Amino acid sequence: MTEYGVTRDGFVVKGIDAIMDDTRERARQMWATLGLKADLSATSPLTKLIEAAAMEDAELWKRLQDYYYSGYVSTATGDSLDLLGRDVGLPRRDLFATGKVTLTLTGGLKGRTYVVPEGTVVLAPSRGQSFATADTVELTADAPAQDVVVQALARGIGGNVPKGKITAIDPAYRAVYLADFSPADVTVANGAELTGGERHEDDDTYRGRQLGIARTLWTREAAQQAVLNVDGVVDVLLSDPFGGVDVSQSVFNEFSFAERLFSAERQIGEPYTFDVVVAHDYRWPWRTTGAVPGVYERVQAVLKKVRPPGVHPNVVEADHIDVGVRALVVVERGSDEAALDRAIRSRLAGGFGKLRLGGDVLYSQVVRTVVEVEGVLDVQRLHLRRHPPAFGRITFGEVAFQTTTVEAAVGQNLVMGPTELPVLRPDAALHDLELVTP
């Protein structure tokens, strides 16, 4: 006999056919008690009444199924998923507002190209909002204006600024990255409203965050989740040399706690610290710069909410390793080589934007990404390149400290250390693409 409703295998919906069969059988039994035979032919009034009632009951069963599955994170959707998130203190996040601004060069010198890098911070002073450009812009005296996409650096509807409100480049950013523009200058303005901040993350993304939420206050998972929820953080690695949240060491449970400290000796009163290696999107500054709060300060703030008293995080910036490609690319005859070069660089940057700490750059994946660009026939003599950050590296990884660009042989992958994040940018100086026709 088929079971309906809540069963061991979940909720089983009673379909309209089963509902009508049961209703017909009850009608036969009812009429039989009166000594009569029910007319259940297809055109009888009784059958029409049964069909109408069965359709209502079938809809009710569907609603019951939705109600049952709305109580589980893996199957809930919409408002039901929002309620489950609120129960664990994890609301659905707003998205970032996006739009376009126009960068205009004034006083530019003839023959010189002025490069405004991707991630340039622009401001809407009257609204207290900051934005970052999504592409590199090249301005000249002959082509002094160019549109570029920008994204708000803070989530929510506050980033939906009206037309004409973005009017300045962050002075602190300008002083560091655009100081050599003098006597030329660059102005910024948005010719249309920025939108998107009123939208929220989709159900699949929100569900994934709920499924991964740590249910205890102080564990490795809880600290990782707190850091990963900081806007701009790409990945995080925790290292706890004295035990604490890390119980994976072979010495765990082998100490006599009455005689000595767990995992390693420490002096009484010595501060207890653990390392938090943070990889971040380069559009968010590591330290607070001008109007943009730094990733470092925001990570420190969220860790204070989950760490026990006396335990202090040592927040360290990960090694962001610039990665490039040197290759001979065979393209179709008549192709616009400049446009193809830009397309290949953009495809590489987009295809490897999801790499995490310690994620190797695979030779085969790079080859596939290049040949998938429309107009590319073949790629030959491809070498992967890497270069360490300008201000040094964390040295406790497996990869030895390097001071010059490293180029792998044809067919070799780029192996990253546990604290290294490979970064491929469209404007990377490490790219050396020679485009030829057959």
Under a CB-based contact definition with an 8 Å cutoff, are residues 136 and 117 in contact?
yes
Residue 304 pLDDT: 86
Domain count, the chain: 4
Instruction: Place 406 in a pLDDT band, splitting at 50, 70 and 90.
Output: confident
Q: Are 300 and 346 part of one and the same domain?
A: no
Clarify whether residues 338 and 414 are in a common domain: yes
Does residue 360 fall inside a structural domain? yes
**Same domain, yes or no, for 355 and 263?**
no
Angle at which helix 203-211 crosses helix 78-87, to 10 degrees, equals 30
* Domain match, 313 and 272 both: yes
Q: Which residues contact 277 (CB under 8 A, 6 or more apart)?
A: 236, 237, 238, 239, 316, 317, 318, 357, 394, 419
Q: Is residue 83 a part of any domain in this protein?
A: no
Among 155, 189, 223, the domain boundary falls at 189
In a domain, 428, yes or no: yes
Q: 261-290 pLDDT, tens per residue?
A: 444 555 566 667 778 889 998 788 888 877
**Within-domain flag for 208:** no
Residue 382 within any structural domain of the chain: yes
**Domain presence at residue 201:** no
**Residue 408 belongs to what domain range?**
320-436
- Identify the band that residue 330 occupies on the pLDDT scale cut at 50, 70 and 90: very high
395 and 332, same structural domain?
yes
In a domain, 209, yes or no: no
pLDDT confidence of residue 339 = 84
Does 296 have pLDDT greater than 90? yes
- 291 and 340 in one domain? no
Residue 394 sits at φ, ψ, to 5 deg, of -75, 130
